[in-house]
Chains A and B, each alone.
Chain A
Amino acid sequence: MCLGIPGQVVQLLAGHEHLAKVDVSGVERVVNVGLLEDEPLAVGDWVLIHVGFAMSRIDEEEAEVALKSLQLLGQAYDDELEAFWSTRIVKDHEAGGDRDDGSGG
């Protein structure tokens, strides 16, 4: 449960303080980025995500290293990804899909 999984910010949700949509291995979900508010994030930034929260900003190199390492975990990473896919911390219509907000943040 202590895994930090790397994700790339694809959209900062307008009208939702501290929420961003991130891409983890091709799946986009909304996470809370409030813990990093001292250093505002931009689209394209990489973060380590833990239980629905971005816990630290990382560079692309670290993201790739961490991802490859996690993939080697096998089942433990599959379980974590499956759990990540299940997350839905805001209602679907608020999740900033393209049809609602095409600005990309």
Chain B
Amino acid sequence: MRFVDEYRDPVASRALVRRITELAGDRHLKFMEICGGHTHTIYRHGIEHLLPENVELVHGPGCPVCVIPMGRVDDAIAVARTPGVVFTTFGDMMRVPGGDGSLLDAKARGADVRFVYSPLDALRIAEETPDRQVVFLAVGFETTAPSTAVTLLQAQARGVENFSVLCNHVTIVPPIKAILESPDLRLDGFIGPGHVSTVVGQRPYRFVPERYGKPLVTAGFEPLDILEAVAMLLTQLAEGRCEVENQYRRVVREEGNPRALALLAEVFELRPHFEWRGLGFISQSALRLRPELAAFDAEARYELPGVRVADPKACQCGEVLKGVIKPWECKVFGTACTPETPIGTCMVSSEGACAAYYNFGRLHRSAAVVLSRRG
């Protein structure tokens, strides 16, 4: 416990909040946390209510399940329904709605869809069932993509011919750029993602201060980490600095993980463009298998519908993912769209802003409203 107390220490957090309040002065400042894990921490611990009202945290697109567009889910379902296929993916992907239901619905209708913890589990299933085609639906940012890369190289080395990957890996920098280019939102800085940065390091974020004049501080997942990152951003602004800084030094290295980056370069290449839910098409923002690995590429093996499917009209995940609206401002939040029956992706994954707010945030918010009335 002694370790943890340092990160939960109410005295330390009060001191940080005081510093944040002083540094912010009376300006209204908006910082975006890119990573869904941070969004979760913020709502879980009511951090937005610890901060002064003029320091606002805006949630970004860093939930890999949330940004998969409906058409891609339909592609996955088409492969899953192919006779003889065992379709595998992470648990979070199972309930993501496509144009005609989710993978879970496809399973209920008879498709052999299984959730796995690791892509290596999918490979093991392929080796154990040589008479079936095993497809792994790969999603995730650079945090997860190296795992798919290692799995593919193992499949190739061992000649596991009945294994393939439907690749939907995305990269972290292009959506940040898209948000910076978007006229919808004026931001004063970014809280950089934690786990992605263990792979990519700090260098890829330099364009944020250099080209767009916004500071970025990579942060850990503890409440005090987030508060400290906010204080670091404000300190930069106060001192007239604008840099990439690393609050999460205890895990994230400046250079990232060179071994993982080399694996990504060996196995994947950039797609010319990729559709993101809510953000639309972003060029060079996603990964596909290199031609040398075409034998393991489900896109080459299976006929995919490849149809672009518009999100349901009522769903405002796009605006939530861009940070333009908060979850509770969506028309269907908590009524038609709940974690049990999600309409949009942000309500599916526990890292999605809507699910995090639904599960934790609204309690903090209602408590804050009551307190402010008393005050």
Contact check, A66 vs B221: say whether CB atoms are below 8 A apart. Answer: yes
**A53 (CB) vs chain B CBs: closest residue:** B147
Contact check, A52 vs B64: say whether CB atoms are below 8 A apart. Answer: no
Q: Which of A37, A50, A65, A86 contacts B143 (CB 8 A)?
A: A50
Find residues 1-37 in chain B having any chain A CB closer than 8 Å to their own CB: 1, 3-4, 6-7, 35-37
Contact check, B124 vs A89: say whether CB atoms are below 8 A apart. Answer: yes
Stretch in A7-15, A67-75, A96-104 touching the partner: A67-75
A2 to B124 Cα, complex, angstroms: 22
Contact check, A35 vs B257: say whether CB atoms are below 8 A apart. Answer: yes
Residues of B within 8 A of A89 (CB): 118, 120-121, 123-124
Find residues 74-92 in chain B having any chain A CB closer than 8 Å to their own CB: 90-92
Contact of A48 with B by CB under 8 A: yes
Q: Which of A1, A4, A66 contacts B90 (CB 8 A)?
A: A1
Residues of A within 8 A of B177 (CB): none
Chain A contacts to B: CB under 8 angstroms: 1-4, 31-32, 34-38, 48, 50-53, 55-56, 58-62, 64-66, 68-69, 72-73, 75-76, 79, 83-84, 86-90
Residues of B within 8 A of A55 (CB): 143, 146, 195, 198-199, 257, 260
Q: Which of A3, A4, A59, A75 contacts B250 (CB 8 A)?
A: A59
A37 to B263 Cα, complex, angstroms: 12
Contact check, A34 vs B150: say whether CB atoms are below 8 A apart. Answer: yes
- For this complex, 30 residue pairs linking A to B, each with C-beta atoms less than 8 Å apart, are A1-B139, A1-B349, A2-B36, A2-B140, A2-B141, A2-B143, A2-B144, A2-B195, A32-B147, A32-B150, A34-B150, A34-B259, A35-B260, A50-B143, A50-B144, A52-B120, A53-B146, A55-B143, A55-B260, A62-B250, A65-B4, A65-B6, A69-B7, A73-B44, A73-B350, A79-B91, A83-B90, A83-B115, A83-B117, A87-B116
Shortest CB distance B304–A (Å): 23
Find residues 99-126 in chain B having any chain A CB closer than 8 Å to their own CB: 115-121, 123-124
Residues of A within 8 A of B124 (CB): 88-90
Residues of B within 8 A of A75 (CB): 350
Contact of B65 with A by CB under 8 A: yes
**B124 (CB) vs chain A CBs: closest residue:** A89
Shortest CB distance B86–A (Å): 15
A48 to B250 Cα, complex, angstroms: 12
Shortest CB distance A34–B (Å): 6
A46 to B56 Cα, complex, angstroms: 35
A11 to B260 Cα, complex, angstroms: 23
Contact check, B195 vs A87: say whether CB atoms are below 8 A apart. Answer: no
Residues of A within 8 A of B198 (CB): 48, 55-56
